[in-house]
Copies of this chain bind each other. A is one copy, B any other.
Amino acid sequence: MAESYEFTVYRGTFIQLPRGDSSRKPELVRNCGTLWVSSTDGRIKGFDWQARDDATFQELMSRNGWVDVDAATNGNGVNGATVNVKVVIASEDRNEFFFPGFIDTHIHAPQFPNVGLFGSSTLLDWLETYTFPVESGFGSKSDPKNQDKNPKDAPPSALRIYDQVVARTLSHGTTCASYFATVHVPATNALAALCHSRGQRAFIGRTCMDNPDFCPEYYRDQSADDSISATRSTIEYIHTLDPKGTLVKPIVTPRFVPTCTRPALEGLGKLVAEYNPPLHIQTHISENTNEVALVKDLFPECPSYASVYDTYNLLTSRTILAHAVHLTADERALVRKRDAKISHCPASNAALGSGIAPIRVMLDEGITVGLGTDVSGGYSPSILEAARQACLSSRLLGHTTAHAECKPVNGYDKTEGREKLSVAEALYLATRGGAAVVDMADEIGGFEEGMIWDAQLIELGGVSEQGECPLDVVSNGNGSLVKPGPVGNVDLFGAETWEEKMQKWVWSGDDRNTKAVWVSGRLVHQRV
């Protein structure tokens, strides 16, 4: 995208997680200084962690011949020696900092209207009661074979919901999402188009589900062939929309084993391999114990749930497996061997009573894990909320029967309390982990030179000043109740270390603290 400036120069505090061995508990890293991003490709071209104070910063600007387009000198004309730049500052007084954008590795866009609605159901009855009815509304009865491709033929209500889910997730700092859509081609294509125009990085999956035994008559692919051809249709549309996959990519999406016939699974495995590089894949695995038992019944020839996907060439290094709450040690070894990725969805796993996935064990075994909101099994479109719930669930893991039985593979020994995820670990999953899950560990999730600027500006707010003695102020009964200073629910009292501020963000923060969001260097959300 052409801008009137060559670089955006970000100045202030930058916090991120280091890349590294997932078997080590990560720590947050903080730098103060200046980082610049090219307007041409949205990538980080350099940084200078010495350029902190005004003098050093101005020296950096001069050295590079940079001229601030918004400064008073704007319009002085660009000669050969100067380069226009836009300067964005994270205010120290307001406790602002730049942080990598969040990556939601598992979200069902059409289920957004059902956020918060699940009663006391568990997975299989929830699908029938809440999910299939809402998803079925994203198509047209006049196109049962899904041959239409035009996004504008999607129902207006579908467009409205998809538009809102993209807007909402961006406002929560989600710069990249791996979406399940519905079976319908026009609406799926519309979701891709909306992400593309709003500027959210996305993987778009048309949901494949052709098994009449487990999909309702009113909502399914009519045959395995239909499932493959409709999927191909959305892939072609997305490849036309974004030929280089700069922002939006297709992802092959068998819903989960019970909804797919053997021919469909086989066909999808072949479809993936037709492309070079092979297509990405996303599905669900071992979310719920009844589901695990059902898969065992349906595929007696396969030794495990994971092996079903493996049999059909769907367990690859570009596969995202959502949930993985009840994987056996053998399955985890297989997942590791294939380098398939796990999307941990703790809010959903609690809400639907699925259980608690042993994330630290998987990480220690070398499995790649990211976070997913799993809207609307999950009740929130916020990855910050998912990070919080990942911490909370992991603290309850020690009380579960699964934890007692969990036998780690690869010689790793469980250590007392090690299963508890720290704030830094949860934020690792939300950024670096998610980047690796969507196969973009070299591109997003951190601030190395050459990486794409998918980032958010977080504002925690200032420390409220000590004013009059509160015993005097409120005695008139008209005190204004929340002091100026805090943004949202984060309260800072001035004694916090920067690490403690980060903890307060994760535990008390929300979208009010997300002041601005960029994807590929483009500003895509700003809090109003």
Contact = CB atoms under 8 A, between A and B. Distances in A.
B115 A508 contact: yes
A483 interface: yes
Given A113-B495, A489-B511, A508-B380, A471 B194 contact: yes
A470 B524 CA distance: 16
Contacts of A122: 417
Interface string A91-126: 000000000000000000000110111011010000
Contact of A396 (B353, B420, B469): B353
Interface string A168-199: 10110000000000000000001001100111
A510 B491 contact: no
Interface in A499-519: 500, 503-504, 506-508, 510-511
Contacts of A391: 351
A79 interface: no
Contacts of A420: 120, 353
Contact of A469 (B152, B380, B480, B500): B152
A481 B398 CA distance: 41
Interface in A449-494: 464, 466, 469-471, 473-475, 477, 479-483, 489, 491, 493
Contact of A355 (B115, B151, B399): B399
B482 A399 contact: no
A351 B395 contact: yes
Contacts of A477: 197-199, 522
Nearest to A346: B392
A474 B380 contact: no
A81 interface: no
A504 B163 CA distance: 19
Nearest to A493: B113
B356 A481 contact: no
A470 B194 contact: yes
A525 interface: yes
A423 B206 CA distance: 33
A352 B491 contact: no
Interface string A366-401: 000000000000011110000001011101101111
Interface string A419-456: 01010000000000000000000000000000000000
Contacts of A163: 470, 473-474
A510 B116 CA distance: 13
Contacts of A127: none
A141 interface: no
A528 interface: yes
Contacts of A244: none
Contact of A117 (B197, B351, B504): B504
Interface stretch (A153-161, A255-263, A277-285): A153-161
Interface residues of A, number: 85
B489 A510 contact: yes
Given A116-B508, A420-B353, A469 B401 contact: no
A190 B471 contact: yes
A201 to B, nearest CB: 15
B482 A422 contact: no
A167 B481 contact: yes
Contacts of A381: 489
A164 interface: yes
B197 A398 contact: no
Contact of A510 (B112, B350, B398, B510): B510
A475 B117 contact: no
A352 B395 CA distance: 7
A89 to B, nearest CB: 22
Q: Which of A160, A392, A480, A506 has the most CB of B within 10 A?
A: A392
Given A404-B401, A500-B117, A168 B508 contact: no
A381 B152 CA distance: 46
A491 B112 contact: yes
B422 A115 contact: no
A528 B401 contact: no
A199 B161 CA distance: 42
A120 B159 CA distance: 43
Given A351-B392, A508-B115, A194 B474 contact: yes
A402 interface: yes
A420 B118 CA distance: 12
Contacts of A522: 477
Contacts of A193: 471
19 contacts: A112-B491, A113-B493, A116-B500, A117-B504, A152-B469, A168-B482, A168-B489, A171-B482, A194-B474, A350-B393, A351-B395, A353-B395, A381-B489, A382-B489, A389-B392, A396-B396, A399-B400, A399-B402, A477-B522
Given A159-B471, A396-B396, A510-B510, 10 more contacts: A116-B500, A157-B466, A160-B493, A163-B474, A171-B481, A347-B392, A350-B393, A353-B399, A379-B508, A389-B392
